[in-house]
């Protein structure tokens, strides 16, 4: 009978290979889910159709994501993963004031929309099809914006506000993203720089000291 210690070196590469295969399968399923949802919408995206596109069994979809809702939740998370990484870096930079930070964050969002043209439609559809997931995402965005406002107040860039006003302003600031989305849909409209300059001018007059 082989000693258990002798199984270690051989088992490690096998475990790594299995993990890599599992990770690849998850990535293929998410890519297939995005294609399916982009073409037919979340409400028509079926687990069977997604599995067929990914070239896997339906059971693999359930194994990796638990349910159709779990798959859609992770799909939306994957769509904003790169954006969130960039926003983390922007908010971690204490050398810039609130307005420059807000400008950088909005520019990152506009670039995200350009790289992911179906994001807005899928997010709107998620609001209708899975409102719990949508509300959870909105709450996370609001918390991020509230933290950015509080940082601006501490820096002395923004005027003092109580907790209620901070919460309301956070919702207002996030709401402007929808207007920016519609402006960008007009091919003859102003460019990103002009949009951001006008937006920040408005914000400065409303929140600045």
Banded pLDDT at 104 (limits 50, 70, 90): very high
Structural tokens at position 77: 């998370």
CB atoms inside a 10 Å sphere around CB 107: 16
Decide if 145 contacts 176 (C-beta within 8 A).
no
Banded pLDDT at 97 (limits 50, 70, 90): very high
d(CA 133, CA 165): 25
CATH match of 80-207 with 1.10.357.10: yes
What fold characterizes domain 4-71? Arc Repressor Mutant, subunit A (1.10.10)
pTM of the model: 0.74
pLDDT at 207 over 70: yes
Q: Where are the domains of the chain?
A: 4-71, 80-207
Structural tokens at position 30: 């998410």
d(CA 144, CA 129): 25
d(CA 80, CA 209): 33
Higher local confidence (pLDDT), 11 or 60: 60
pLDDT at 39 over 80: yes
pLDDT (0 to 100) of residue 2: 47
Look at the alpha carbons of 168, 173, 177, 179 in this order and tell me if their dihedral is positive or negative: positive
Helices (H) and strands (E) in the chain, counts: 10, 0
pLDDT at 4 over 50: no
Render pLDDT for 128-170 as a digit per residue (tens, 0 to 9).
877 888 888 889 999 999 999 999 999 999 999 999 999 999 9
């Amino acid at each position: 009978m082989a000693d258990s210690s002798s199984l270690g070196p051989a088992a490690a590469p096998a475990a790594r290979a299995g993990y890599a295969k599992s990770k690849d399968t998850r990535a293929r399923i998410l890519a297939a889910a995005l294609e399916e949802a982009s073409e037919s919408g979340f409400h028509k995206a079926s687990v069977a159709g997604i599995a067929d596109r990914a070239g896997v069994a339906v059971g693999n979809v359930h194994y990796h994501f638990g349910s159709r809702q779990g798959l859609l939740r992770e799909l939306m998370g994957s769509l904003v993963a790169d954006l969130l990484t960039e926003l983390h870096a922007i908010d971690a930079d204490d050398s810039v004031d609130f307005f420059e930070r807000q400008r950088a964050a909005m520019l990152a969002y506009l670039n995200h929309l350009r790289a992911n043209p179906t994001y807005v439609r899928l997010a709107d559809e998620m609001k209708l099809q899975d409102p719990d997931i949508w509300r959870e995402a909105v709450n996370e965005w609001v918390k991020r914006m509230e933290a950015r406002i509080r940082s601006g107040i501490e820096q002395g860039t923004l005027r003092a506000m109580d907790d209620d006003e901070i919460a309301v302003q956070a919702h207002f600031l996030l709401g402007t993203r929808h207007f920016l989305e519609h402006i960008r849909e007009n091919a003859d409209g102003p460019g990103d720089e002009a949009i951001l300059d006008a937006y920040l001018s408005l914000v400065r007059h409303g929140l600045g000291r």
